[in-house]
Structure 1
Amino acid sequence: MPIYLAAEETLNVGQALAVDAPAQKGFFTVAFEDDGDTGYFYALDMRDDDNPVRDALHIYDVASVSDRTKPSTVKVGWSTDHTKAVLLINDYPHAVFDFQAEQGYCRTGFPPPASTGWSVSGHDWDDAALELFA
């Protein structure tokens, strides 16, 4: 998968962590957050000063993570055209944002589409999302 690494952090599931990963070019940013209860991945368009959040993807509920006592590695990679981002936890893809198509994909398929106009068909995972990085 040809990506460039925008962020890498050690994750202790259930301990507060925020990882911002802006694209090297353009106005797009993604962020991963573990707030102690859940893990979410956000798509942001920094041209909007009022509310840059375009979409949010549920990654996990802390209570449901079986190996949460072990440290993990969170990585965020961007496509070379700076319009697609992937969230990797222990090198396993958990979520993808495609800023051109305004679509997010995650393994949990949650939450339902918001009123932002993004991901109108839902957030269900599709392995074809990884082909966006080919």
Structure 2
Amino acid sequence: MIIPVTCAIILLERKVLATQRSESMNLPGFWEFPGGKVESGESPEDCLHREIKEELNIEIDLLDRWNSFEHSYQPGKIIQLIPFLVSFKGGELILSEHTAYRWLGLSELFEVNWAQADIPIVQELSRKWGSIQKNY
């Protein structure tokens, strides 16, 4: 079973947002790019806007959709992680599900303990950092 899950690489002032999973979530304590499961009949883009509003209380603007990555935490269940590069549009960041957040610069990207599914996205972000900062 493949489960489509969106995630937002949220840019603000040459930094990117990372959120820490709470004790009530799977993989507590690990860091991730915020987002969530795509519901039936929902586009990944609509899902991302909904999830970011629910989880963080903020608005975003979509900049770019990156290639998906697949990861399996348990046999027979594959997460298809769909990353979007987005900019912070507005609102007050209030966590509803996560325990903490950090704004990370390039040199800080690998300071947090990322969830396994997010690591390829962190690596991609690291490779593209220069062009992202120049273009967005």
TM-score normalised over the length of structure 1: 0.26
Structure number with the higher helix fraction is 2
Structure number with the higher strand fraction is 1
Q: Which has the higher contact order (CA 8 A, sep 6+)?
A: 2
TM-score normalised over the length of structure 2: 0.26
